[in-house]
A and B are shown apart, each in its own frame.
Chain A
Amino acid sequence: MKRLYFDVEKCMACKTCEIACCVGHSLSKDLFKVMSEESLPLPLIKIKEKDRKPYPISCRHCQEALCVAACMSGCLTKDKLTGAVLHDKNKCVGCWMCVMVCPYGAIRPDRKRKIPLRCDMCKDLDTPQCVKSCPTKAIIWAEEKELVKK
């Protein structure tokens, strides 16, 4: 399964990815119109730091996903074909079990909309918005196997 990897030597913590993520998940898909949308989209990727070293954090779509196991409403499921962790927002009740168990802190509660904020790898797009937007090419969208070869 393709997922996000980060070359932290290249990451400048500029947070362009956070903005691209917000815009990509907005209604208008337009940076200048986003600000006037009723509910402001929140980034599904976050840049955290330790000793000035950046650590971009987003959902890893884990093989053994603890969030799927803990999800008491059955709204989080593992797609057997693609390996992605899918979220059905109609089934979700906003109980935050997934937030409680994500060992990466990659799921945050959107308390306003009562759904978890987590990377959906831009679902239908060929390449996620953050990958396209990164000015230093620090975000890598690849299969794990491909990555090892590099």
Chain B
Amino acid sequence: MKQFIVIGNSAAGIAAVESIRSKDRDAKLTVISDEDYTAYCRCVLSYYLAGETPESNLVYRSEKFYKENNIELLLNKKVTRVDPQKNRVILEDNEKLGFDQLVIATGSSPKFPDIKGIRKRGVSGFRTVKDIKEVLGMLPIVKTAVCLGGGLIGLKAAYALKKRGIEVKVIVKSRQILSQLLDKAGADIIQEHLGSQGIEILTGADIIEFLGEGELKAVKLDSGKVIGCEVAIIGKGVSPNVGLVKNTDIRVEEGIILDSFLKTSVENILAAGDCAQTYDIAMEKSQVNALWPNAVEQGALAGKNLVGEGLKYPGSLGMNSVDFFDLPVISMGITRVPKEGNYREFARKVDNSYKKIVLRNNLLVGAILVGKLDNSGIYLELIRKKIDISDIADKLLDVNFSYAKAFDLLGKEDSTYFEIKNK
């Protein structure tokens, strides 16, 4: 009987096992996780910390799932090494498990910049249930929290802590928040909104030292200013968990390099999710897009290809959706026009709503939507399918834009309006 191993028990790993089991009920299937928790919704952690959703809602797949699908789940086991030559993985406790085929879905870990005192108690990442529970445990003694980083992690942490009635300051190195997702105009709307809800954001600032003896008492900024705080959340991005394949035949750049079938450079080993580097549809180059929807899509496809379906992965895309104090924002693809290349951008701003599209030649390659999100999925589809949008370019920002307006471009296989199709 064949033995499949999936390393990782989150979005990509779960999607992979679901695909595998939809085709192969018999093979031995083992999932290994270095966490001590059933598969959970990582992106919901901030809502849990905010007190907006109970812990029970974190569960993404319960024990029942593993039983019903005949999956052996190994929790709290860290794979330290993949040995492609002997087709086995080696665990931290030196146990060795053999496989016929392997999916690496190890995810990513928070980056901790090299700042003096960053390992003090009270300084935390914002990634795992364990991280969040530690922060929750400290809440009763916390008056002020500092979030380092103006990306989604830092701001979602800030939002959650503010909801808990804690004073929050966000330290952002660049001149705007969400610099990876939004342009200045979009970011300014969010920043003002967060400010109006009592979250203080300091742009153009950085932490140079975490102060306190053992426990965090304050942070020191590069301006010399000292801010007293009991908790600091580090939101400086994530790096792919690829240590387990270092110095093997599996090629790695920033993430594990995959071909268009999500195979690594070793025939019987696939990868998916945050640890993987894939072709980005908008950027047209290989990069890591560490995002939940990409991870699920990749995991599902890797699982299918593991059981021999031979499906091509169309590519990943930067895409994010978030809602801060009832102000929603979506960002997709390229949102800031690069200096080189034939790019054009069009924007429309009304009060607290902002919409921008970015075109490269006759293709839509990116969009920002703040406030009003309607039809964002149609933009995403136009980006994904790389459809020549010349015919509707002038309508994309119209308030009346809808699927109907894009039907001639997108509706070729849509059987919903059958009279049209049958004519």
Give chain A's interface residues, CB within 8 Å of chain B.
Answer: 4-10, 46, 48-50, 53-55, 57, 60, 66, 69-70, 72-74, 90-91, 93-97, 99-109, 111, 114, 140, 144, 147
Contact A104 B323 (CB under 8 A): no
Binds A, one of B79-87, B88-96, B190-198, B368-376: B368-376
Binds A, one of B29-37, B211-219, B273-281, B414-422: B414-422
Bound CA span A111–B211, Å: 41
Tell me if B171 counts as interface (CB < 8 A to partner A): no
Contact B323 A50 (CB under 8 A): no
Contact B47 A93 (CB under 8 A): yes
Bound CA span A23–B8, Å: 46
- The answer to whether residues A107 and B419 also contact, given A49-B404, A93-B47, A95-B322 and a CB cut-off of 8 A, is no
- The answer to whether residues A96 and B321 also contact, given A91-B57, A105-B403 and a CB cut-off of 8 A, is yes
Starting from the known contacts A97-B292, A144-B415, 19 additional A-B residue pairs (CB-CB under 8 Å) come to A6-B416, A7-B418, A8-B419, A10-B419, A48-B404, A55-B407, A70-B296, A73-B44, A73-B47, A74-B60, A91-B53, A95-B321, A99-B376, A99-B377, A100-B376, A102-B377, A103-B380, A108-B374, A109-B373
B373: which of A100, A104, A114, A140 is its contact (CB, 8 Å)? A100
Contact B44 A48 (CB under 8 A): no
9 sampled A-B residue pairs with Cβ under 8 A: A46-B402, A55-B403, A69-B297, A70-B293, A72-B43, A73-B47, A96-B373, A100-B330, A107-B377
B292: which of A50, A72, A96 is its contact (CB, 8 Å)? A72
Shortest beta-carbon distance from A88 to chain B in Å:
9
Bound CA span A101–B52, Å: 24
Contact A6 B292 (CB under 8 A): no
Bound CA span A91–B44, Å: 10
Tell me if B257 counts as interface (CB < 8 A to partner A): no
Contact B418 A99 (CB under 8 A): no
When C-beta atoms are compared, the residue in chain B nearest to A4 turns out to be B416
Tell me if B147 counts as interface (CB < 8 A to partner A): no
**Quick one: which of B372-394 are within 8 Å of A by CB?**
373-378, 380-381
Bound CA span A121–B14, Å: 29
Bound CA span A73–B58, Å: 7
Contact residues in B for A99 (Cβ distance below 8 Å): 321, 330, 373-374, 376-377
Tell me if B300 counts as interface (CB < 8 A to partner A): yes
Shortest beta-carbon distance from A114 to chain B in Å:
8
Bound CA span A108–B47, Å: 21
Contact A111 B52 (CB under 8 A): no
Bound CA span A23–B402, Å: 24
Bound CA span A110–B44, Å: 19
Contact residues in A for B53 (Cβ distance below 8 Å): 73, 91, 93
Contact residues in A for B418 (Cβ distance below 8 Å): 5-7, 140, 147
- The answer to whether residues A103 and B296 also contact, given A55-B402, A57-B404, A95-B323 and a CB cut-off of 8 A, is no
Contact A72 B41 (CB under 8 A): yes
Contact residues in B for A69 (Cβ distance below 8 Å): 15, 293, 296-297, 300
Shortest beta-carbon distance from B421 to chain A in Å:
10
Bound CA span A69–B162, Å: 30
Contact A111 B402 (CB under 8 A): no
Shortest beta-carbon distance from B384 to chain A in Å:
8
Shortest beta-carbon distance from B307 to chain A in Å:
17
Bound CA span A96–B11, Å: 17
Bound CA span A50–B47, Å: 40
**Quick one: which of B299-336 are within 8 Å of A by CB?**
300, 319, 321-323, 326, 328, 330, 332
When C-beta atoms are compared, the residue in chain B nearest to A10 turns out to be B419
Contact B410 A60 (CB under 8 A): no
Contact residues in A for B414 (Cβ distance below 8 Å): 104
Contact residues in B for A144 (Cβ distance below 8 Å): 415
Contact residues in B for A55 (Cβ distance below 8 Å): 402-404, 407, 417
Contact A111 B419 (CB under 8 A): no
When C-beta atoms are compared, the residue in chain A nearest to B43 turns out to be A72
Contact residues in A for B47 (Cβ distance below 8 Å): 73, 93
Shortest beta-carbon distance from B98 to chain A in Å:
31
Tell me if B405 counts as interface (CB < 8 A to partner A): yes
Contact residues in B for A49 (Cβ distance below 8 Å): 404
A5: which of B60, B380, B416 is its contact (CB, 8 Å)? B416
